[in-house]
């Protein structure tokens, strides 16, 4: 059990690539922290520096209250689970799990107990005599996790551990990792580019881009209060819709006007939008906050717009409507029974409490 703290961490690889740029991050004791971001944003490099597999160009890394910058990986009391499992192909599962303990000269009895306890937690007791090639992808991943558990590390590090599994197995292993965290109550840091994994697993999520942490918050925090357009668009599926338009004052009220799409803004947003009057803004609305007028009980002329139904995607439990203003196309997620015909006009209603505005030049959140 340990806190992990990154203070002003940067990593510049040979050749000048700035992979991580002045990252400050505090991971609480027993917390499940997810590093989330697109490929190449510096997640793995950050994780590998915590593990001791890379060394920072600048800054300090603490595990507990120990500065570990110069501590070799094997002495950091952390264990890493890799995307490709990294199992020894010629060893049976038992020996794969026992390997690191034997290296550290644990007694035979202690090794046996740790391997069997871990195997039980992970439901792989019946696989201990098999070689990795005799296991499915999900089973191999469990062994890789088991190999980390037996060491009872202070910190678990996961580098995209589910990305080699098929979609169904990924969901199953995701819930198992969640249960594992509840069961063994250890600090875990988990790298992924998959926002669903991040939302479902993380106590908090650090969203990274270009080597920087843009926002560190709870899953609901990043969903409800994204700090900028990038975070807003990265969290949520299908992603948030954006359209550019103008904030138009009229009769003591403010309206967002895209040209063919005009809605009244709620009064409690006026303060923050004051300096954008008659100026361009980016309007953001999540697909799940858009409703067909027939299905929305709070429709008024000021939160209702008329748009063209361009495409309907049937998902089974719901439909995705691709709606066109003539200038922008946006997506609405609606009930399965709500299936307008393609080419028809649809009256849609927005939940104006859930609308976001972003500055078009900085892309920072206005409100
Ligand atoms: P992520 O895990 O978010 O996909 P990485 O941390 O792997 O990102 O990489 C961040 C950046 O650093 C990328 O531009 C990548 O090409 C670069 N990079 C990663 N490893 C090395 C390396 N060993 N040498 C040089 N550049 C690297």
CB-based contact 355:285 (threshold 8 Å): yes
Provide the pairing of β-strand 4-12 with 253-257: unpaired
Residues 271-291: pLDDT tens digits? 999 999 999 999 999 999 999
Q: End-to-end distance of the chain based on CA atoms, in angstroms? A: 38
Tokens of 104: 């550290």
Place of tokens 């700090």: 227
* Coil, helix or strand at residue 74: helix
Residues 100-137: pLDDT tens digits? 999 989 999 999 999 999 999 888 999 999 999 999 98
Substitution candidate for ligand 1 out of 13, 51, 195 with most atoms within 8 A of CB: 13
Instruction: For ligand 1, atom 22, name the residue with the nearest CA.
Output: 13
Enumerate residues lining ligand 1, CB below 6 A.
Answer: 13, 15, 17, 19, 37, 39-45
**Statement: residue 1 has pLDDT above 80:** no
* Coil, helix or strand at residue 3: coil
Angle at 17 between CA 190 and CA 49, to 5 degrees: 35
Banded model confidence at residue 296, pLDDT cuts 50, 70, 90: confident
Q: For the whole model, what pTM was predicted? A: 0.94
What mean pLDDT comes out for the span 17-42? 97
Residue 86: predicted pLDDT: 86
Residues 320-344: pLDDT tens digits? 999 999 999 999 999 998 899 999 9
**Statement: residue 181 has pLDDT above 80:** yes
Letter string b/e over residues 210-229, b meaning 16 or more CB atoms within 10 A of that residue's CB: ebebbbbbebeebbeebbbb
Instruction: For ligand 1, atom 18, name the residue with the nearest CA.
Output: 19
CB-based contact 292:338 (threshold 8 Å): yes
Residue 83: predicted pLDDT: 85
Which atom of ligand 1 sits closest to the CA of residue 39? 4
Substitution candidate for ligand 1 out of 6, 10, 17, 36 with most atoms within 8 A of CB: 17
For residue 238, cis peptide bond before it (omega within 30 degrees of 0): yes
């Amino acid at each position: 059990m340990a806190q992990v703290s990154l203070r002003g961490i940067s990593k510049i690889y040979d050749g000048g690539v700035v992979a991580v740029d002045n990252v400050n991050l505090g991971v609480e004791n027993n917390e499940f922290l997810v590093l989330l971001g697109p490929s190449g944003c510096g997640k793995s490099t950050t994780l590998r520096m915590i593990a001791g597999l890379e060394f920072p160009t600048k800054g300090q890394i603490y595990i507990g209250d120990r500065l570990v910058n110069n501590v070799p990986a094997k002495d950091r009391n952390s264990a890493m689970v890799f995307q490709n499992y990294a199992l020894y192909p010629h060893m049976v599962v038992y020996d794969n799990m026992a390997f690191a303990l034997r290296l550290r000269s644990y007694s035979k009895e202690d090794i046996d107990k740790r391997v069997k306890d871990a195997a039980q937690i992970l439901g792989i007791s019946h696989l201990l005599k098999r070689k990795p090639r005799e296991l499915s992808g999900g089973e191999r991943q469990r062994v890789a996790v088991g190999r980390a558990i037996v060491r009872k590390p202070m910190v678990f590090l996961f580098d995209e551990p589910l990305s080699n599994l098929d979609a169904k197995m990924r969901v199953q292993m995701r819930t198992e990792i969640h249960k594992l965290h509840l069961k063994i109550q250890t600090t875990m840091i988990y790298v992924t580019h998959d926002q669903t994994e991040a939302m479902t697993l993380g106590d908090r999520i650090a969203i990274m881009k270009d080597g920087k942490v843009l926002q560190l918050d709870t899953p609901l925090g990043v969903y409800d209060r994204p700090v900028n357009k990038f975070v807003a668009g990265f969290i949520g599926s299908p992603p948030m819709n954006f359209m550019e338009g103008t904030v138009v004052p009229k009769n003591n009220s403010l309206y967002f006007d895209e040209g063919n799409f005009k809605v009244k803004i709620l009064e409690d947003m006026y303060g923050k939008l004051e300096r954008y009057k008659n100026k361009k803004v980016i309007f953001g609305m999540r697909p799940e906050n858009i409703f067909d007028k027939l299905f929305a009980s709070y429709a008024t002329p000021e939160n209702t717009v008329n748009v063209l139904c361009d495409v309907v995607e049937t998902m089974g439990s719901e439909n995705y409507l691709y709606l066109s203003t003539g200038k922008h196309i946006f997506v609405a997620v609606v009930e399965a029974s709500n299936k307008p015909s393609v080419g028809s006009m649809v009256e849609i209603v927005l939940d104006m409490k859930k609308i976001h505005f972003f500055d078009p030049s900085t892309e920072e959140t206005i409100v």
